[in-house]
Amino acid sequence: MSTRSNAHKLVTHAVLILLCLPFVLPLVWMASTSLKPETEIYATAAPANALEYLGTLLPARPHWQNYPDALRTVPFATYLQNTLILCVANVVFAVLSSAVVAYGFARLQFRGREFWFMVMISTMALPGQVTMIPVFTLFRELGLYGTFLPLIIPSLFGNAFFIFLLRQFFRTIPEELAEAARVDGASEWTIFTRVMLPLAKPALATCALFQFLHTWNDFFGPLLYIDDPDRYPLAYGLQQFMSSYGGKWAQLMAGACIFTVPIIILFFFAQKTFIQGISTTGSKA
């Protein structure tokens, strides 16, 4: 039985590794290209077989100078600072506002609760392109075009997916905990902040991770609202780097690695909390 179990695990892991290769190879190519000199990148000799291709995939001699060259070519420090400002603001505002709304839908009894919840959920099916023009016009008329505010203000009103996720989590928490707090004289806000939020840390962390990834990778929002190069975030700044220095593939891939590595590190550190937050948000009547 032990031998059969080990063989089953070996086959399972082999299949998973094969399925991961199409997703991992682009990252390997990006990292490898970032360490090659330009002459090696533009080598025209085609590999004869897969083994020869794998040999050319790795740099003959790592050229680490590509990274400081990329950092000097464009103001990555400014782009990183702008990105972190947007990430921190959006994560805090989106998670807190979504938690408040989710708690109301999960625990408070009011007329039309299920109807309004369905209306809120239905907004998830509304493409952003439908509201893009009126929202852009609104922010422009308010004089906010060219600032970070159009990229931050929407998070103050919650996120439909986060509200759904947190509502499902709040509904799994025993009502007896809230009733005991009410007996002790706690207000609904105190129950929310002192009882519910500490218990909802895995779900809150999951929402925070989703929002951080969305803001970090957001390209369309800055493209629409930001016209000052000193306010570019990393995603938009990297595209501007490609437009201006498209022929410098080694530096471009070095910049892409700098952009990607923090996300990979964040996921490895947060994957346990992320999986726990998703797995514990089941439905409860």
Percent of the chain with pLDDT over 90: 26
The verdict on 92 and 156 lying in the same domain is yes
CA distance 166 to 33: 42
The verdict on 172 and 234 lying in the same domain is yes
Percent of the chain with pLDDT over 70: 89
Q: Nearest-CA neighbor of 95 among 190, 201, 21, 10?
A: 201
**Domain count within the chain:** 2
Residue 151 lies in a domain: yes
Range with lowest mean pLDDT among 1-5, 116-120, 153-157: 1-5
The verdict on 86 and 223 lying in the same domain is yes
The verdict on 258 and 177 lying in the same domain is yes
Counting Cα atoms < 13 Å in the Cβ hemisphere of 269 gives 8
Residue 284 lies in a domain: no
Residue 285 lies in a domain: no
The pLDDT of residue 285 is 43
The answer on pLDDT for 215 being more than 80 is yes
CA distance 269 to 31: 21
Range with lowest mean pLDDT among 95-99, 217-221, 248-252, 280-284: 280-284
Range with lowest mean pLDDT among 38-42, 50-54, 173-177: 50-54
The verdict on 58 and 78 lying in the same domain is no
pLDDT in tens, 223-260: 899 988 889 998 888 887 777 766 778 888 888 888 88
The answer on pLDDT for 194 being more than 50 is yes
Q: Nearest-CA neighbor of 208 among 126, 266, 123, 168?
A: 266
The pLDDT of residue 82 is 93
Say what the pTM is: 0.81
Burial grade of 165 (CB within 10 A; 0-12, 13-18, 19 or more): buried
Residue 275 lies in a domain: yes
| pLDDT average, residue stretch 86-112 | 93
pLDDT in tens, 131-165: 889 999 999 999 999 899 999 999 999 899 999 99
The verdict on 53 and 180 lying in the same domain is no
DSSP class per residue in 88-119: HHHHHHHHHHHHHHHHHHHH---TTHHHHHHH
CA distance 172 to 115: 21
The verdict on 45 and 99 lying in the same domain is no
Q: Which residues contact 133 (CB under 8 A, 6 or more apart)?
A: none
| pLDDT average, residue stretch 58-74 | 83
The answer on pLDDT for 13 being more than 80 is yes
The answer on pLDDT for 6 being more than 90 is no
Token pair for 32: 């490898």
Residue 155 lies in a domain: yes
The verdict on 274 and 226 lying in the same domain is yes
Residue 247 lies in a domain: yes
Reported confidence tier of residue 183, pLDDT bands at 50, 70, 90? confident
Residue range(s) defining the domain that contains residue 24: 2-63
Place of tokens 């996921």: 267
The verdict on 45 and 163 lying in the same domain is no
Report the first-to-last Cα separation within the chain, whole angstroms: 41
CA distance 242 to 19: 30
DSSP element (H, E) containing 278: helix 249-279
The answer on pLDDT for 47 being more than 80 is no
Mean pLDDT of the chain: 84
DSSP element (H, E) containing 71: helix 66-73
The answer on pLDDT for 274 being more than 90 is no
DSSP class per residue in 172-224: TS-HHHHHHHHHTT--HHHIIIIIIHHHTHHHHHHHHHHHHHHHHH--HHHHH
CATH number of the domain where residue 175 is located? 1.10.3720.10
Q: CB–CB of 182/117 below 8 Å?
A: no
Q: CB–CB of 224/154 below 8 Å?
A: no
- Between residues 5 and 76, the one the model is more confident about: 76
